[in-house]
Amino acid sequence: MKTLKVKDSEYEIKIGKITRVKRITALEKLFEITLPEKECINHVPGQFVVLSRLGIGEAPFSISSSPTKLRSFELVIRNVGKLTQALHNLDVGDEVGIRGPFGKGFPIHILEGSDLLFIAGGIGIVPLRSLIHYAIDNRRDFGKVTILLGCNSPKNMLFSDEFNNWSKRMDLNFECTVDRADPDWKGNVGLITSLIPGISLVPERTFALVIGPPIMYKYVIAELLKKEIPERQIIISLERHMKCGLGKCGHCQIDNLYCCQDGPVFSYDKIKNIKESI
Amino acid sequence: MERYVILEKKHFNDFILKIAKSQKVVAPVAKGYHQFAFEEVTSGDQISLNYIPTILPPKKYFMPPNETIATYDISKGQNITLVVEYEEIVLFGVHTCDLAGIQCLNIAFSEHPKDINYNIRKNKIIIIGYECNSYCDEYASCRLVHNHLPNGGYDLFFTDLENGKFIIHLHTLLGEKLIKKIGFIKEADESDIQSLDALRERKRKIFAKNEVPIEHEKIPELFDKVYDSKVWDELGKLCLACGNCTNVCPTCYCFDIIDESNLDLKTGRRYRKWDSCQNEEFAKVAGGENFRPERAARQRHRYYRKFRYPIDNFSRFFCTGCGRCSRACMANINLKETLTKLVEEQGMKNPDAG
């Protein structure tokens, strides 16, 4: 067996330097990552990168910051496995390998002029935050912006400071619910689906942008269809086990689609007949 | 114009011997009762010309089971050195089913984003095909997927004319150069071409009907109807989730990417390793959700990746009809029987087709 060094491989990584770390909850940390010479990662909200630490391995992570943040990007990482444990031990100045961004993100240009209804369940706020920040930073490009957030308990809420700001802004409608309240919680209690019937919207000019755990989609989409939002205007992001990011390794396949290349963002009309999708 | 040359069988041993003097030759070799494997040979008499599909298909040379894609040295930071592993080989004796398998892999790894490792490696391999004059065994279904006759994908193609001669189709300049360098050959004459035509005509009678009673063209339609079939539940009850079927499949190319550090805990490599959609963990995500937890769903996925999805994506079946999955299955899941059950369940049985 001979070995050849190559340059233009899809497995090439860029070195990302950690420039900020912030603990968000007991399980999640936010990492700001800066590429060499502050190169812009140039992503579309909804896309993901494959991050690695040599000797431990690679895993996919959604970009949580907006493309309007040019010189660095943010990942929010839940400590659930070997790689994420290692990442949680890293600090400012440490390096990681970055491939990507990969996949199809949200159709940000098509959304122009429309009303946006964001629906995030649990950790779904991490990827959706990229688009929410983008919409806030380009606020005049969109009509009414509504954000519905569901979370299992107040202590697991990911971006409390930001949510406080969003709830105070005149140009956003922000509503939040928790599955289980604690004694200090004064807001809504119940599943995210309970917030949807009360929203006033004009269905033909509304795009629903939904990310949450797999179980959530079926019920949320049913509520959105009751509101008569057209199927092609319900945009969701599907979680799968992306490994290579290149539409080859097979792990993320949803019937004949490769989630890492054809998705992870899909409009409901495109996947409603794909049986493995939701 | 198509060019054919003749190699007399008495020169076959020396023919291989001579190639092997300057290049690595791999060819089917007997490995015990009804078992064969592609291995390095140095002369023609080591080769089993009359072989049933090898345990592993020639996929192992195009997409090695364990392939380094990068090396690293942590003491110098998080940088990696990207590498391609390759070997210059002459791959001799590839049946038409396996030629089709290589074509499928070529397509999958050339589609955007193109896989540079695969594409560099494949161009280092000279492929010499070898015709099956009749069925290898009862597991094959090459007629069904139109792979019983050669469909290209080789540099040279050998057919045993059963009269003491091989006729060799020179398909590429690379193949022609090799033949010229090695020698022992003469131009085919009119009677040789007639012998080849007669052999192919005999083959058309041997492979007269599909091995499953359905028309080739109706297979995608069949699969459009059987997603919720109880046949998958039956397979799910039998399947041991061992991954034999996908490992031996000439067109299965799923893989995992793994880092492996050396004992110095500084240097190491990132490698690709064959993986299988039949493994329980295959579609599981970090949060614990498994998107294909049942064996029935995983078996269905395997069949759809052979007979339905690649029709949309690549306009061809990714089943080559080699029969390896059926031969290797410890639970006796049989591809021909599974397809026949689906055909019968849908009332699509056509006795004229197969």
Class of domain A14-101: mainly beta
Please report the pLDDT score of residue B343 as a whole number.
97
Q: Among A51, A113, A116, A39, which residue's Cα sits nearest to residue A77? A: A51
Please report the pLDDT score of residue B287 as a whole number.
85
Cβ atoms of B192 and B165 closer than 8 Å: yes
- Alpha-carbon distance of B189 to B192, in angstroms, equals 5
Q: For residue B242, what are the CA distances in angstroms to B139, B247, B273, B277, B299?
A: 20, 10, 16, 10, 11
* DSSP H or E stretch at residue B16: helix B12-22
Please report the pLDDT score of residue A268 as a whole number.
98
Task: Calculate the CA B242 to chain-centre distance.
Answer: 20
3-state secondary structure chain A: CEEEECCCCCCCCEEEEEEEEEECCCCEEEEEEECHHHCCCCCCCCCEEEEEECCCEEEEEECCCCCCCCCCEEEEEECCCHHHHHHHCCCCCCEEEEEEEECECCCCCCCCCCEEEEEEEHHHHHHHHHHHHHHHHCHHHCCCEEEEEEECCHHHCCCHHHHHHHHHCCCCEEEEEECCCCCCCCCEECCHHHHCCCCCCCHHHEEEEEECCHHHHHHHHHHHHHCCCCHHHEEEECCCCCCCCCCCCCCCEECCEEHHHHCEEEEHHHHCCCCCCC
Contact between chains at B308 and A52 (C-beta distance less than 8 A): no
A147 DSSP β-pair partners? A118, A174
- For chain A, what's the residue count? 278
A115 DSSP β-pair partners? A206
The conformational region for residue A255 under phi > 0 = left, psi -120 to 50 = alpha, else beta, is left
Per-residue pLDDT of chain B (354 residues; tens, 9 = 90+): 789 999 999 999 999 999 999 999 999 999 999 999 999 999 999 999 999 999 999 999 999 999 999 999 999 999 999 999 999 999 999 999 999 999 999 999 999 999 999 999 999 999 999 999 999 999 999 999 999 999 999 999 999 999 999 999 999 999 999 999 999 999 999 999 999 999 999 999 999 999 999 999 999 999 999 999 999 999 999 999 999 999 999 999 999 999 999 999 999 999 999 999 999 999 999 888 999 999 999 999 999 999 999 999 999 999 999 999 999 999 999 999 999 999 999 999 998 887
Task: Calculate the CA A70 to chain-centre distance.
Answer: 18
Low-confidence ranges of chain A (pLDDT < 70): none
Contact between chains at B309 and A81 (C-beta distance less than 8 A): no
B80–A contact, CB cutoff 8 A: yes
B116 vs A6, A15, A80: nearest CB: A6
Q: List the CATH code of the domain at A115-271.
A: 3.40.50.80
Radius of gyration of chain A (CA): 19
SS3 for B90? strand
Which pTM does this prediction carry? 0.95
pLDDT tens, residue by residue, A100-123? 999 999 999 999 999 999 999 999
Mutate to test the interface with B, among A9, A35, A51, A240 (most CBs of B within 10 A): A9
Max CA separation in chain A (angstroms)? 66
Cβ atoms of B44 and B38 closer than 8 Å: no
Residue ranges of the domains in chain A? Answer: 14-101, 115-271
A249 vs B72, B254, B287: nearest CB: B254
Contact between chains at A256 and B308 (C-beta distance less than 8 A): yes
**Which residues make Cβ contacts (< 8 Å) with residue B230, sequence separation at least 6?**
none
Residues from chain B that touch A13, judged by Cβ atoms under 8 A, are: 78-80
- Give the percent of chain A with pLDDT over 70: 100
Please report the pLDDT score of residue B2 as a whole number.
85
